[in-house]
Amino acid sequence: MHQTQKALLLDRKFGNFVVGDTEKYKPGPGEILIKVHSVALNPADWKIQKSGLFIEEFPAILGIDIAGEVVELGTGVTEHKLSDRVSCQSQWEKDKAGFQQHAVSLAVTAAKIPPNISYDEAATLPIAVSTAYLGLYNQKPHGAGFSPPLSSADEGKYAGVPIIVLGGASSVASLKHTDFLKSLGATYVFDRNLSFDTLRTEATQTIGLDLVAPDGTLVIVLNPEVKSKDGKLVVPFLAGLRMPQNLELLETLYHEKITGFLERGLIKIL
């Protein structure tokens, strides 16, 4: 008989979130079972509920950004041990989603949380880091094609600099802590309370493409409202964990890089 656990369930397409019971899953080969301590509230969660995108099997469990403790190892796992603190990006599968007491993750894409980072802080990382990292460093036509500057030789040069500045772009953040944000490298600070009509998707993409240098790339995570022109490439993309074009870069990031980046202040959590 399967063990059960509590989960936050989306009861049907366009439905409601309700607390219910689900199976307590077992990790398969190359997987770990995580006792969930913290889950970020990601815009994708309410967008899936509202739009009906991505998920076809209900009741569904959402929750993309997970932080917690390793409580069981699947066969062949050598990257982690019991009680390791980890964070991970979930997949669109019920056993791997975050809004439940325990979730399964691929061992190779679960990053160890260093002692200086809390579970709540770690839960803010996965999809945010994946999106920035893939958009900048994935090869064209899946990203801008920059070479990651995060090698050991660059650590002193780039320590504490926001990831989007590392890629050669400008930081954009909200108005509340202007001085602090600029000290971290933000080039512009905009009032987040500006009317959305002032910053329409089409307008921002058009302006963005105009600002891109010759032979440059505009990377976007929304549906494109503009087309490539004048040698400038428009690249829409998704930061899906197991998409073939993303796999190698994300495995390297989470398995080999990100824990050290956090320990040494190369990536800072705001």
- 140 and 243 both lie in a single domain: yes
Tell me if 140 sits within 8 A of 217, measured CB to CB.
Answer: yes
How many C-beta atoms lie closer than 10 Å to residue 51's C-beta?
11
What pLDDT is stored for residue 195 in this prediction? Answer: 60
What CATH number did the domain enclosing 108 receive?
3.90.180.10
- 48 and 139 both lie in a single domain: no
Q: Write down which residue in 86, 108, 124 finishes a domain.
A: 124
Q: Tell me if 115 is assigned to some domain.
A: yes
Q: Write down which residue in 93, 124, 155 finishes a domain.
A: 124
pTM of the model: 0.80
- 87 and 161 both lie in a single domain: no
Q: Tell me if 267 is assigned to some domain.
A: no
Q: Tell me if 265 is assigned to some domain.
A: no
- 94 and 132 both lie in a single domain: no
What pLDDT is stored for residue 226 in this prediction? Answer: 86
Burial of 93 (0-12, 13-18, 19+ CB in 10 A): middle
Helix (H) or strand (E) holding 5: strand 4-10
What pLDDT is stored for residue 130 in this prediction? Answer: 92
* Ramachandran quadrant class, 76 (left: phi over 0; alpha: psi -120 to 50; beta: rest): left
Query: What is the number of domains present in the chain?
Result: 2
Name the amino acid, one letter, at 8. L
What pLDDT is stored for residue 136 in this prediction? Answer: 87
Task: For helices 244-252 and 126-137, give the axis angle rounded to 10 degrees.
Answer: 110
- 137 and 249 both lie in a single domain: yes
CA separation (Å) from 46 to 8, 17, 79, 115, 259? 13, 10, 33, 31, 29
What pLDDT is stored for residue 112 in this prediction? Answer: 97
* Mean pLDDT in consecutive groups of 10 residues from the start of the chain, 270 residues: 89 96 96 98 90 92 97 97 96 92 96 95 93 89 78 52 51 67 69 58 80 86 86 87 87 90 81
- 148 and 60 both lie in a single domain: no
How many C-beta atoms lie closer than 10 Å to residue 245's C-beta?
15
Q: Which residue range is the domain that position 167 belongs to?
A: 128-194+237-256
Q: Write down which residue in 124, 139, 165 finishes a domain.
A: 124
